[in-house]
Amino acid sequence: MCDTIVATPQVTTHGEMLFGKNSDREPNEAQYLEKIDSADYAPGERLQCTYIEIPQAPHTNAVILSRPFWMWGAEMGVNDHNVVIGNEAVFTKMPFEKQSGLTGMDLLRLGLERGNSALEALRIMTDLLEQFGQGGNCGYSHAFFYHNSFLIADAAEAWVLETAGKEWAARRVTGSASISNGLTIRREFDLRSRGLITNAVKRGWCTSENEFNFADSYEDRFYRWAGACQPRQKRTSERLNAGHGTLTERDMIAILRDHKRGENEDVLPSQGVHGMSVCAHAGFGPFRDSQSVGSLVVRLMVGQPAEIYYTATSAPCTGIFKPAWMDCDLPDFGPAPTGKYDDRCLWWRHERLHRAVLEDFENRLGAFSAQRGI
C-alpha cells in the first residue's frame, strides 16, 4: 500500500511543481534506486519487461528509478525531461490478468522512458495499457494481483490516471491531489478509454452514461476497506490543503513522514491490526504486511533541472532525504539488494537501524530525529 501526493504551481511557495511518494511493499522487498542513461535502438528491437516482451522505442530517456529489486518496472521515478510518476495499487471489479501483461510498474517506467511531458507519458501509458493489458503477479513472497493508479507530473501540469483492466480515466489536477489505494475519479474526468462507460453499463454497474461514476462503478469496496486507504488519503489531502500557498519540498517530506490518524492521534507501529499511517511500518495481521520501503520527493521548475530528494532506504521517518540531479551520477549504494540481508547494501544497513528503532519507537526515534534534518 502506498501514498502519492502532488502540489501544483498555484499552491506552492515559489510556483514549483512538488511531488512526493512513499512506496509501501513487503518488509524484505528491498527497493533499488538506480540511474539509467538515455539510449537509441535499431528498428525491430524488442524489450523484455517484467513478464512480457514488447517493441522497443527508437529512443529512451534517461531516468532515475526506485524499483523493487526483482522487477523491471519501478514504483516511482523521474526522467531527463522533468517528468515524474508514482503508482498505486487499486482494486476493481474487473478481472485480474494473472498470467501476462504489463505490470503497473512496467507502465510507469515505460511512461518515463518514452514520454517528454506529463500528458505525453499519460498517452503512452494508456496506449500500451489498451494494447497489452496489465497483469502478472506483483507480490514478492506471495501472489498479489491488482490494477493501478498513477500521479504523473511535469513542471507545468499534473494528472491523476486510474485504471481497471484495460479501461481508464484521467483527471487534470488543480491545486493539489493525493492518491492512495482506492479510486478517486468519479464524474470529473477529462480523458477516458473509449469503452469505459459502455463496459460498466454492459456489466450492470451503472444504467446509463448520465449515471456513470467511475469509482462507484468500478471499485471493489472490500479491498478499499482492507487497504485502509481512506484515512491515509484524507490525512495527506488535509495537510496539502492546509498548506496551500506556502507548500515547499520540506512540507512534502513532512507529509511522507506523517504518523497521525486525524489531527491529534498518533499511530505507533505497534498499534492496530488494520490501520497504517502514511509513513507505514509493518505490523501484526494480514492487513499490515507492508512498510514504506522507499520515498521520493521531486521539485520541478520550468526551464530548470529537477531537484530530486530520495531516501534509497525504508521508513522515511528514520531515513534522510538526499539530493540528486539528472546530470550527476548517484552515489555508490553498494551492490543491488536482494530479499536477504547484505551488509554491503545501503538499503539493508539502514534496515538494521529501522528495525532497532521499532523495538522502542518513540524513544529511539526521538534520540536522533532532531539531528536528522531532511
Phi, psi of 76 (to 5 degrees): -165, 160
pTM above 0.85, yes or no: yes
Q: Are 218 and 201 in contact (CB under 8 A)?
A: no
Please name the helix (run of DSSP H) or strand (run of DSSP E) that holds residue 109, with its range, or none.
helix 104-114
Per-residue pLDDT tens over the stretch 41-82: 999 999 999 999 999 999 999 999 999 999 999 999 999 999
Domain region containing 189: 3-372
Look at residue 293 in the predicted model and tell me its pLDDT: 97
CA gap 301, 294 in Å, rounded: 24
Mean pLDDT, all residues of the chain = 93
CA gap 56, 59 in Å, rounded: 8
Look at residue 99 in the predicted model and tell me its pLDDT: 81
Percent of the chain with pLDDT over 90: 84
Look at residue 286 in the predicted model and tell me its pLDDT: 58
Nearest to 141 by CA among 279, 33, 29: 29
Per-residue pLDDT tens over the stretch 247-256: 999 999 999 9
For residue 227, pLDDT beyond 80: no
Look at residue 69 in the predicted model and tell me its pLDDT: 97
Look at residue 263 in the predicted model and tell me its pLDDT: 61
Q: What is the mean pLDDT of residues 35-39?
A: 98
- Secondary structure class of 306 (helix, strand, coil): coil
Per-residue pLDDT tens over the stretch 108-135: 999 999 999 999 999 999 999 999 999 9
Q: What is the mean pLDDT of residues 334-348?
A: 96
Nearest to 289 by CA among 185, 156, 139: 139
Per-residue pLDDT tens over the stretch 195-217: 999 999 999 999 999 999 999 99
Indicate the pLDDT class of residue 274, thresholds 50, 70 and 90: low
Q: Residues 2, 49, 138, 317: which is the catalytic one?
A: 2
Least confident of 155-164, 183-192, 281-290: 281-290
Q: How many domains does the chain fold into?
A: 1
Q: Are 296 and 86 in contact (CB under 8 A)?
A: yes
Q: Are 185 and 214 in contact (CB under 8 A)?
A: yes
Look at residue 287 in the predicted model and tell me its pLDDT: 62
Phi, psi of 115 (to 5 degrees): -105, 130
Q: Tell me, yes or no, if 2 is annotated catalytic.
A: yes
Q: Where do the DSSP E strands lie in the chain?
A: 3-7, 17-25, 31-36, 39-40, 46-48, 53-55, 59-60, 63-68, 76-79, 84-90, 147-153, 158-164, 167-172, 176-179, 191-192, 260-261, 265-266, 291-300, 307-310, 322-324
Please name the residues in contact with 151: beta carbons below 8 A apart, sequence gap of 6 or more: 4, 5, 6, 19, 21, 85, 86, 158, 159, 160, 161, 173, 177, 179
Cell 551492490: give the residue.
335
Look at residue 285 in the predicted model and tell me its pLDDT: 58
For residue 94, pLDDT beyond 70: yes
The enclosing domain of 313 has a CATH number of 3.60.60.10
Size of the chain, expressed as the number of residues it contains = 374
**Is 260 exposed, middle or buried, given 0-12, 13-18 or 19+ CB atoms closer than 10 A?**
middle
Percent of the chain with pLDDT over 70: 93
Least confident of 7-21, 128-142, 268-282: 268-282
Q: What is the mean pLDDT of residues 3-25?
A: 97
Nearest to 178 by CA among 5, 346, 363, 371: 5
CA distances from 240 to 15, 235, 343 (A): 15, 9, 38
Q: Are 344 and 335 in contact (CB under 8 A)?
A: yes
Phi, psi of 310 (to 5 degrees): -130, 155
